[in-house]
Amino acid sequence: MADVIEVGAARGDAPPPAASAARRGAKSANRVGRATPYLFLAPYLVLFTVFGLLPIVLGLYLSVHQWDFQLPNRPFVGLDNYKELFSSDSAVFGDWWQSVRATAIFTVVSVPLLVVVPLGLALLLNRSFPGRTFFRAVYFAPYVLGVAVIGLLWRFLLDANLGLVNRVLGAVGLPSDTPWVTDVPWAWISLVGVTVWWTSGFNAVIYLAGLQDIAPELYEAAKVDGASAWERFRHVTLPGLRPVLLFVMTTTVLASANVFGQSFLITQGAPGTETRTVVWYIVEQGLRNNDAGRAAAMSIVFALMLAVVSLANFRLFRYRED
């Protein structure tokens, strides 16, 4: 029988049906195996394309047109919308850079607090003490509230005439007429303070997860070597938290730079347009002034600014790691 099969194979006859079917099954299984990762990625890729790539492409298209929703014609203007942002004699130059300045002030002041304060909370909440779970929930609770709730709540609490904050301050002998939402620097203090109170719990939870991943043996070895609490924090905790710090720093910078609801609801841009941020100005141009072309150009320029800041942040942490 073996001689018959060998002779048939030598003459070029077709292999037995069973062997051919096995090879086809193996090829089909290989194709399915190679496609499996893409099948799992498909839902994300569809959502990313619809809600990520397509808006970017549409934004680029809008930015090179004079796009007014109320007009039938949207003429092509090339890079004029971009040039106006950097031309001192344009109608939007002053307001645009004022909003960039306001966003920069808020980001520079709030980010250090939103990185350091949650880290301190995480270090405290990582210790064993009665009621630890309760306090973890208390510090995280404000984060579950929406920006509309936070904004309206603190708008009333910080009101110069009727707000509870000034009443409490007056009751303890402190000035009771502080313009928390209508004058600087009080408006910035209010915005930053409310944001730190509102979002610190989220970063604290991220830090807690990072702290629990640091091996306890490292702290024990440091104690045996005579390291103080500060030395253990500097040489064990911080190196162990470096990836977490990178994540917290990057997300906090991006979130602070995209601030909108707090300034819109609490200070309403006051005094004047001092606390009107970039996102607020973009929304105002696109929806209130019906100038989607300029708004799209502003959005793209602002996105490039944030990309540069994020890359610098990654480079900084990468340098420290090396």
Question: For residue range 202-245, what is the model confidence (pLDDT) as tens digits?
Answer: 999 999 999 999 999 999 999 998 999 999 999 999 999 998 99
Taken in order 26, 27, 29, 30, the sign of the CA dihedral is positive
Answer for the pair 210, 241: CB distance below 8 angstroms, yes or no.
yes
Q: Which two tokens stand for residue 40?
A: 């799992």
Q: Among 74, 43, 42, 51, which residue's Cα sits nearest to residue 61?
A: 74
Find out whether 252 and 203 touch, Cβ atoms under 8 Å: yes
> For the chain, where are the alpha helices, taking DSSP H only?
2-10, 17-48, 54-63, 80-86, 93-125, 132-140, 147-157, 164-171, 186-212, 216-224, 229-232, 238-240, 242-257, 261-262, 278-283, 292-321
pTM comes to: 0.84
Contact indicator for 276, 51 with CB cutoff of 8 Å: no
Q: Which of 24-28, 125-129, 239-243 has the lowest mean pLDDT?
A: 24-28
Place of tokens 């991943």: 213
Kindly report, residue by residue over 113-126, the tens digit of the pLDDT: 999 999 999 999 99
Contacts of 208 (CB under 8 A, 6+ apart): 122, 125, 126, 136
Handedness of CA 312, 314, 317, 320 (dihedral sign): negative
d(CA 19, CA 124): 67
List, in order, residues 6 or more apart from 116 with CB less than 8 Å away.
Answer: none
Q: What would the 3-class secondary structure string for 240-284 be? A: HCHHHHHHHHHHHHHHHHCCCHHHHHHHCCCCCCCCCCHHHHHHH
Amino acid, res. 243: P
Nearest Cα residue to 260 out of 206, 302, 207: 302
* Gap between the Cα atoms of 267 and 191, Å rounded: 8
Query: Which pLDDT tens digit goes with each residue over 246-294?
Result: 999 999 999 999 999 999 999 999 898 999 999 999 999 999 999 999 9
What's the rounded Cα separation, in Å, for the pair 271 and 151?
A: 17
Please, are residues 278 and 301 in contact by the beta-carbon 8 Å criterion? no
Give mean pLDDT, residues 299-319. Answer: 87
| Residue 143's pLDDT band (cuts 50, 70, 90) | very high
In this structure, what token pair is assigned to residue 9?
């194979």
- Mean per-residue pLDDT of the chain: 88
